[in-house]
């Protein structure tokens, strides 16, 4: 692993007199899963919002491929190849898997039918099936509705959608939350597949065993500051928890 694909340098975020992020630096490389962990109030959500273009930092730099970027909105970040999946997956249960993968990016039929508003549904279903299959998501049919899938399958589809459209980075906020062991395993498998395709992955989670299982490196936030940034191999569950809580010296 070489230079950073996505990086923040010394960013701070203030809300009036409250400092949510204080001089935070972190990076993710292509083909790397970075765990972002911390207790409630550590600044994880604020950092994710800065990384995804929801908020602009009060100071500091955001760099993509070594070039400084200024996101005016999430659309800017998406256009640059950064996809973010929040705790709520944003799937439409009544629509098919294929329709959800292309939600907001629908393709029209060629010619006059497209001009009349007809969607290229068969083409989208075929492409969605291929995209999901590429990251190891076993969905029986891309025209099956989301409501017919298990919780793990739904979350895997949501991540698969992010992987299908991301060209640089996917940011995953608590993707295994409220899932059973088997379903969480499906989601972790998709994250590995994204890494194997050369994407950078930022994985935010309170479930420390999942973080230890799938990440290459872990960044620990506490009270808006980075207190540790180290390879996952240097942690076990006890030392990671101690670093998060401050019971182990930084």
The CATH number of the domain holding residue 84 is 3.40.50.300
Q: Which pairing describes strands 169-173 and 200-204: parallel, antiparallel, or unpaired?
A: parallel
Residue 58 lies in a domain: yes
Q: How far apart are CA 189 and CA 3, in angstroms?
A: 25
Q: Which two tokens stand for residue 190?
A: 């998709």
26 by Cβ neighbours in 10 Å (0-12 / 13-18 / 19+) ranks as: buried
Residue 176 lies in a domain: yes
pLDDT tens digits for range 89-106: 678 888 888 778 777 666
How many domains does the chain fold into? 1
177: which DSSP letter?
A: T
Residue 30 lies in a domain: yes
Most confidently modeled range among 81-85, 160-164, 237-241: 237-241
Q: Which two tokens stand for residue 160?
A: 């698969």
Which pLDDT score, from 0 to 100, does residue 150 have? 76
Nearest by Cα to 171 from 22, 24, 28: 28
Spatial CB neighbours of 249, under 8 Å, sequence gap ≥ 6 = none
Residue 1 lies in a domain: no
Residue 1 has pLDDT above 50, yes or no: no
Residue 60 lies in a domain: yes
For the segment 127-132, the average pLDDT, to the nearest whole number, is 74
pLDDT tens digits for range 192-203: 988 998 999 999
What global pTM score does this model have? 0.83
Spatial CB neighbours of 181, under 8 Å, sequence gap ≥ 6 = none
Residue 190 lies in a domain: yes
Residue 87 has pLDDT above 80, yes or no: no
Task: Please state, rounded to an integer, the average pLDDT across all residues of the chain.
Answer: 86
Residue 57 lies in a domain: yes
Residue 137 has pLDDT above 90, yes or no: no
Residue 244 has pLDDT above 70, yes or no: yes
Q: How far apart are CA 153 and CA 150, in angstroms?
A: 5
Residue 132 lies in a domain: no
Could you tell me which residues are beta bridge partners of residue 33? 201
Which pLDDT score, from 0 to 100, does residue 44 have? 94
For residue 16, how many other CB atoms are within 10 A of its CB?
A: 5
| Domain carrying residue 12 | 6-96+151-245
């Amino acid at each position: 692993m070489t230079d950073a694909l996505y990086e923040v340098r010394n960013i701070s975020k203030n809300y009036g007199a409250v400092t949510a992020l204080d001089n935070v630096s972190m990076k993710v490389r292509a083909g790397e899963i970075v765990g972002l962990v911390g207790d409630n109030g550590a600044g994880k959500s604020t950092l994710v919002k800065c990384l995804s273009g929801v908020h602009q930092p009060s100071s500091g730099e955001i760099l993509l491929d070594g070039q400084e970027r200024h996101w005016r909105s999430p659309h800017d970040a998406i256009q640059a190849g950064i996809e973010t999946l929040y705790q709520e997956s944003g799937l439409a249960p009544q629509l098919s898997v294929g329709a959800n993968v292309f939600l907001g990016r629908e393709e029209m039929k060629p010619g006059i039918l497209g001009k009349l508003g007809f969607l290229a549904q068969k083409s989208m279903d075929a492409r969605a099936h291929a995209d999901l299959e590429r990251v190891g998501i076993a969905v029986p049919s891309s025209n099956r509705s989301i409501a017919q899938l298990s919780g793990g399958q739904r979350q895997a589809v949501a991540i698969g959608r992010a992987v299908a459209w991301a060209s640089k980075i996917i940011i995953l906020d608590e993707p295994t939350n409220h899932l059973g062991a088997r379903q969480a395993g499906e989601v972790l498998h998709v994250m590995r597949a994204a890494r194997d395709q050369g994407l950078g992955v930022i994985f935010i989670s309170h479930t420390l065993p999942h973080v230890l299982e799938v990440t290459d490196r872990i960044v620990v936030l506490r009270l808006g500051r980075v207190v540790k940034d180290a390879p996952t191999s240097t942690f076990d569950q006890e030392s990671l928890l101690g670093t998060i809580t401050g019971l182990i010296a930084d």
